[in-house]
A and B are shown apart, each in its own frame.
Chain A
Amino acid sequence: MIEVINLNKSFGKFKALDDLSIHVNKASVYGLLGPNGAGKTTLIKHLVGIYKQDTGTVTVGGEPVYENPAVKSSIVYIPDDLYFFSQYSIEETAKFYANLYPAWNKERYEALKQVFPIDPKRRITKLSKGMQKQVSFWLGICLMPEVMILDEPVDGLDPVMRKKVWNLMLQDVAERQTTILVSSHNLRELEDVCDHVGILHNGKIVVERELDNMKSDIHKLQLAFTGKIPEDFLEELDILHRSQSGSVLLLIVKGNKEKLLSMLQKINPVILDVLPLTLEEIFIYELGGMGYDIQNVLI
């Protein structure tokens, strides 16, 4: 759905995006990760047609985005730094968007009043930052987008609201095949919702992965043996990390979970536990060998 190929962008002498390519499938949730200043917002502003690339192509649904109203009308962009007209109430803003976006869904707007408990007659700029964020989700969802681009979306939302909002959006992903690209500097935030993750560092995509594969592919095992730990079985495993404390062996292993378990059970460990891996740990172990100090990248 979203295809960026060899995108380059410089601000004066500063190279913000360096030959960057990403690919986002339809109906997927793509997490764009990276520390502050990595170029996330710059990339996003290209995806919604605000910035013009120096070189490279940016397409959504096969069409270039820049100066393309047809494509842009199917994209909803919720920026980090929100902007609303200062005198406008929620209702007036809704009317404004209804005028501008052909796909505006009034029923949905009315229905969502239940989810967002804010008086629609209130002026948006008088609301708190979190409430403004809610309003932008509320209105954004009503634009029936095919693509949602969210820049640091959950900043300022309380956990309950965060869950509600994600539920709404993921529902759209499932029912309407909406594609979502969401940026964050915090991996844990995206863990539960993303199916793909791209890590951006210094204007480059360092890694792009499908999370489900990764999760089912990497495992954290805790083993304990009576007596000496047998060494020979280790050679058969694809070990990313190994640590030992006393008779307890901790392994990060690549491979099919069932296969691993059946194999390990053969050597009769006293304890055999498969521990949950956080996304962060996956990246750290996965990328550990790539020469990036990934902990610094992900924070």
Chain B
Amino acid sequence: MPLLDVEALTKRFDHLLVVDRISFAVQKGEIVGLLGPNGAGKTTVIQMLLGLITPTAGRIRVFGLDLARHRQAILQRVNFSSTYISLPFSLTVRENLYVFARLYGVRSPSRKVDDLIEQFDLVKKANRPAKELSSGQLTRLHLAKAMVNDPELLFLDEPTASLDPDVADRIRRMLIRVRAERQLAILFTTHNLREMEQMSDRVVFLNQGHILSEGTPEALIAQYGTADLEALFLKVARGQVEEP
């Protein structure tokens, strides 16, 4: 049974069809990249998977449970991190993590917070407010927050946007390591196509609200005869790929 099973998921805002009957699955321990040009529907899909947007039609099953009916039980085992949302900036690193540990009902919140601070290399900044952190440290704090409940499924919206290549590379390695250690499944979006190639076991390529293609990065590149994912992305974004 897949960890995440999406079937004919559709979202319409008034007359605008944003997501059009998409179906895909994510298996335990798998890293799946959600790729597509701006407006392809990636963020809307992730927000529907998190219960932030109600789908117009379709079904989302996580851990075999229907999201519409078991939201709380599912979100207990899932987490999310996005470059576009923030954490309370006047709270310290430790306080932020403590609040989320309590929110996720972690049994020994203080011990968990200490572990995360250590694991995400935030020891020196543990008692400093989030507003004093660098971009790299903030990203690590966001990821630490996303790990606070030891999720089985993690959604990441552009996890390394605005980071320099060195820090971005460290973050990617950290995510790959955590996946290997804990059989964590990750569904992520990024506009960094090298990152998409490097991290994804499989890519779901969205265009204009539906799935254009799905497969390993190598399979997609071979299918469209491009040099890499970036070349494929450019072809799709410029309308040079025929829809199936």
Q: Does chain A bind chain B?
A: no
A residues engaging B (CB < 8 A)? none
Interface, chain B (partner A; CB < 8 A): none
